[in-house]
Every structure is written in C-alpha cells, then in structure tokens.
A and B are shown apart, each in its own frame.
Chain A
Amino acid sequence: MTNSIRDIERAQVLLVTGSNTTEAHPVLSLQMKKAVRKHGAKLILVDPRRIELADFAWLHLRQRPGTDVAIFNAMAHVIIAEGWLNRPFIETRTEGFAALETAVKPWTPARAEAISGVPAEQIVAAARAYAQAERSAIFWAMGITQHTTGTDNVKALSNLALLTGHIGRPGTGLNPLRGQNNVQGACDMGGLPNVFPGYQPVVDEAVRRKFAAGWGVPYERLNEHPGLTVTEIMNGVENGRIRAIFIMGENPMLSDPNLNHVREALSQVEFLVIQDIFLNETAELADVILPAASFAEKSGTFTNTERRVQLIRPALSPPGIAKPDWQIITELANRLGANWHYTHPREIFAELAALTPQYAGMSYERLEKGGLQWPCPTPDHPGTPILHVEKFARGKGLFCPVDYRPPVEETDETYPFILSTGRILFHWHGGTLSRRSPGLDEIAPVAEVEIHPQDAHRLGLQDGELVRVSSRRGQVVATVKCTGRSPVGTVFMTFHFAEAAANLLTIDAVDPTAKIPEYKVCAVKVEKVKVGESVAK
C-alpha cells in the first residue's frame, strides 16, 4: 500500500477491484465500511462477483473476468476527454502523458462495454466520481494481479492515479492488499530470484560487493544472474536443471497452478527437503522433513500490507523437539561451511537492518514500543505512513500505456464456463491451519463450487448436489452452491480444500513480467455426478 490502513476512512471515493476485502482482509474492510457509512464516501466496486462489499457500493461494475484493462483504459479516456485531469500534477510530477493520451484515445466507453459487458454509462460515472473527488483511493488484490495481464492491470490503475493526482496525500493512493501475513516481508527480505533484501538487484555489482562484505563471503560466490521463479523451478526439474529443492513453510502441492504438473516435478527431483509445522501434501513427497515452530512459539517480525514491521513474541514451547526456522537454518548453514552465531532473532534483525535501507532505522528496542512503517532510514525517523509525497521512487511518475489482451484460455463448446478461484472468510490459503481449527471447519466443511441459478437450472443441478468440474488439466468433485454471487457463465471455487483442489484445474500460463499464474480465468465444464458413480478423491 502507498497509504495506511487508518488513512482509508479519509477517502471520499474508494475504487475497490479484484479484492473480496470483507472475506480476505476482514479487519481492513471495516475501515472501508466506516468510510462509506460514517463519512459518506462513494465505493466503486469493479468485480465480476456480487461479493459482500456490493452491499456498500455506490456503483458495481461487473466485468467479464479478465477484461480489466479495457475498463480502466476507458476510465482514463473519459477523464481526459471530459477534462477532469489534474494538470498541475501531470506537469510537475509525471512524464509520458502524451503517450497515454494517444493510447487511450480509441478506448471509448462503448468499446470497453463491448469487451467487458459493463454498460458504458457506468464506466463514465465511475471515471467522473473517481476524478472529481478531492481524495480518491484505489484498492486491489489478487483479482487484479492473478492474470496473464496482471502487470498491465496494475499499470492501467496507476495511470488513473497519475492522471488525477490521487497519490501521495492522505485518503488517496494505490493500495495493493497483501494476502499472507508476511508476504510483504518475504519480498522485502529478498525471497525473490532477482533481488537481495531491500529490492537491491543481484545484477548490480556494487550491491553484490556490499552483501559479500556484509556477510563476510567471497565476492565471487554471489551469483550475478537472476534465479528462477516458483513455476520456473518446477519446469527446471523436468529439464534436469534443478536437482534439489528446499521448501520452508510453503505447500506448493496446493497453492501452485496445474497441480498434476507440480506433483510430477516434485516426485522427480533428486532431493526434496521440507521445513514445516505439518506433514502437508508437499511433505508427503519429501526425503527429509524438518519440524519447525509456529508463530506462537518464537520471536521475530512480520511486515504487514501497509509496510508496518511488527513483533511476534513466544507464548509457548514448540512440540517435541521442533525448533524455530531461524535456528534450523543456522545449524544447516554451519554444516555447509558458514560460521553463524545467532542466539536470538534480534541479532538477525540488526544485521538485516544494516543491509536493507528501508529498515535501517529500525531495531527491536523501537519495535517494542509499536510497529514502524518503512522506509525508516534512521534511528530517529518516525516511519513513512504515505509514500510518494514529494516525489516518486524513480523521480517522476511514469504513465505506462497498456493495451487490452484477452485471457490465455477462452471458453468453448467443450469447456463453456470460466473458473475463477479465491478465498472465503472461514478458511485460509491451502487450509493447513484453518481446517485444523474445528470451529472454523464446522462452519465451512466442504469445497463448494458457486454457480449462477440460471446455469444450474440449465444443467439440472440442485443446491448441495455433487458435480465434477473439469479443465484440460484435471478434475475435481465439489458441492454445488447456487448463488447470484457468480455471474452467468462463471463459476467460483476456493483453493482451501485438498480433497477438491481447485489448482488441479487452473492453468499455469503466467504474466510475462510478474510471472503470476492466471488463477482468475480458465475454461472448465461442470457435470452432475451420477448416482452410484465412484468419486475418485
């Protein structure tokens, strides 16, 4: 997020797209509801599904899945054509406006309607409301990014903020909502193939020299070539490039696309190590399993979606002889020739803060008094609740014209439905944690496939019946839920249930830049499971 959670209620217009906020980020959604109910803000929802936030929306644009760029380009078209742009902001803070103006000229609302199915007048109304308010904020999550056009979708949103100057002030901003509790921190800490901690590129020689010196290792050891992403690692096993995989606290056998392919790769790899708190679906394929501590059994820090670094503290001892991950990694590194002496995570934090400019001013001593938002460059810096106030990271904000591309897999006669995947309130990710909490699992015990009542009627399906959902890659059996939440022609499943793993169906086509799989659009068929037919798990 460029802005902060407490800042949300200051927005006069909230554009929420590709985020089922009340289920995936429930407590943050309270601020959105407060903005609407208490302060009279207008909520513009751009989402194919009629999610709970629709009850709070001033306007709900229900686009055909995967047509986001068409809508946001048309909004930019309207803002420019009707003169609602913020000229002083464009002149002083941005560059590349002329290119954007040319690119969105053909994107009339009528053209966007033809592609997205959203009425042109709704697109015009959304554009006017977003541009005319003094403070408008954009929020999105995986509904925007999990497409082969994910990067383009984000650029199209960013163009809207730059056109109107709705960034760098309270109640504005471009606010991606991060899913996992520490996905922000895992990225900040260099859990990515192309960067060291603090997004310092591995291709930069000065950066490699800095880390070689900081870590006391020979400069030559630090690899200058960016590494492979998750999906590429799985492919790398098949072509013999990857021989060993070490997995800490992840379950690719539920979370990755096209699971049959992942299973093949993980079964083939010469050596597989899993470090986790449960023997999950991935661990079942491993050679060695290392038992780790849960969040309640160790010290450390998590970084939330608003870049706020916060402490966790131990309340319990780990079961048996399980140990915190940091201890296991330290002991393994020392067996491989390192000479690490960490006795507490605070020492690791001091080291990483010294090498990560955004965290440089933070320490456990300061975090004891409350969380700090990066960048926090010096020990007396208060942290940064709003990014890009005076200038952007690159100096001027760059308009990035993007064109509409359809999703990779379109529906046809054999696979006539679009499948979209996501979360529900009562479960979490692959279900490893929440499905072991009986109170939660009792409320939502089975995998459901949401289907519009018209489609259900046409296929002769009743609520609660079992159906087989199949794609070109696999099939699962799930329980029918007839609901107007899903638009006609689109079905929705969560990825929480191992016994009906939606990712057996999803496609592993990825965004060319971000390498995110297209979880939100693939083609499936839905068939009734006949009485007496055996249901393969």
Chain B
Amino acid sequence: MIEPDRVVQTTCPYCGVGCQVDLFVREGMIYRVNGRFDNDVNRGNLCVKGRFGYDYVHAPDRLQTPLLRTDRQANWQAVSWEVALDFVAEHLAHIRQRWGADSIAFLTSAKCTNEENYLLQKLARGVIGTNHVDHCARL
C-alpha cells in the first residue's frame, strides 16, 4: 500500500453533479481518488471519469509558460509573465481607445471557479466597460 504524502478533500472537475472526492497525492502525483461519504451529493459513489480521469493534470503537454507571437504565422515564443501581461494590456487598451469598449469580448468558463468567473466579468464590466461576456452554458 502506497502511503500518501497528503490526502486533499475537493470537488470532482467533470460534470455538474459535484461529487466530493479525496485526492491521494505522493511526490506531486495524484495516484488514487476516493469518493467521500460525508455529503448528500455522491455518498461515496464516483463514475469512471471521477475515479480514473485525472491523468490530464500531469499531462506532459500542460502549458507551463506564457506564449506569445507577433504574427499568427510565426512560431510561439515562451516569455515571462511581465512581457505577456504587458503585451495583452497594451493591446486591449489600444483597441478600446481606437474602437471603443464594446469592441472587446470576454468568454468566461464553466470549468473555472466562481471566484474566477466573477473576476473576469468584473474586469470586462468594471475595468473595460463592456457587457460582451458569455460562456458555453448553451453549448
């Protein structure tokens, strides 16, 4: 039996049921997932994705650094956060100045947290000044 470095209680990332899970972590890897019993959502049950579908977290092609290109035909350049965020901010500011706030649109995410969805629409509405905010709820 492998001894976990830690067991972390969290919520399954797949469907809208929101099963409660324990992630067993050893040396930076999730190696086992159990359903938790102490709730009215899944009461210990999990589906095949919720129990075995976590390899993507460790996938070798996870994005690790910001990537940027000045021409869509060119290759990606790995850059620092400073460079990437300055570049995004400059372009958004420029486009807003030239074409108005309503020339910029934001897609939030049904896979991100409440806090992140809240912040992105706050950025769109309160900083940029547009209501062009939507996500894939309909899809």
Contact = CB atoms under 8 A, between A and B. Distances in A.
B18 A305 contact: yes
B11 A181 contact: yes
A273 B92 CA distance: 10
A348 B115 contact: yes
Interface of B: 6, 8-20, 23, 25, 28, 30, 38-42, 45-50, 52-57, 59, 61-70, 72, 76, 80-81, 84-89, 91-93, 95, 98-99, 101-123, 125-139
B50 A428 contact: no
B40 A288 contact: no
A247 interface: yes
A178 B61 CA distance: 29
A285 interface: yes
Q: Is the interface of A mostly helix, strand, loop or mixed?
A: mixed
B15 A181 contact: yes
- The 3 tightest CB contacts between A and B, nearest first, are A320-B64, A300-B113, A304-B18
B138 A248 contact: no
A54 to B, nearest CB: 19
B13 A181 contact: yes
A227 B92 contact: no
Contact of B50 (A27, A211, A217): A27
A70 B56 CA distance: 43
B114 A349 contact: yes
Contacts of B52: 437, 439-440
B84 A290 contact: yes
Interface stretch (A55-63, A91-99, A448-456, A514-522): A514-522
B69 A322 contact: no
Contact of B110 (A186, A246, A273, A278): A186
A313 interface: yes
Secondary structure of the B side of the interface? mixed
Contacts of B91: 244, 271, 287
A255 B85 CA distance: 27
B104 A278 contact: no
A345 B18 CA distance: 19
Nearest to B80: A321
A223 B129 contact: yes
Given A185-B113, A321-B80, A325-B109, 12 more contacts: A27-B41, A180-B16, A181-B11, A182-B114, A182-B117, A183-B110, A191-B121, A217-B127, A230-B136, A245-B107, A333-B123, A336-B93
A527 B99 CA distance: 47
B17 A28 contact: yes
Given A243-B95, A349-B114, A517-B139, A308 B41 contact: yes
Contacts of B81: 321, 323, 331
A379 interface: no
Given A192-B133, A301-B113, A349-B114, A242 B105 contact: yes
A333 B110 contact: no
Given A230-B139, A242-B132, A279-B63, A181 B110 contact: yes
Contact of A192 (B11, B23, B49, B134): B134
A321 B108 CA distance: 22
Contact of B131 (A24, A193, A246): A193
A245 B64 contact: no
A279 B118 CA distance: 24
A186 B133 CA distance: 11
Interface string A417-447: 0000000011010001110111110000000
A295 B113 CA distance: 8
A306 B15 CA distance: 12
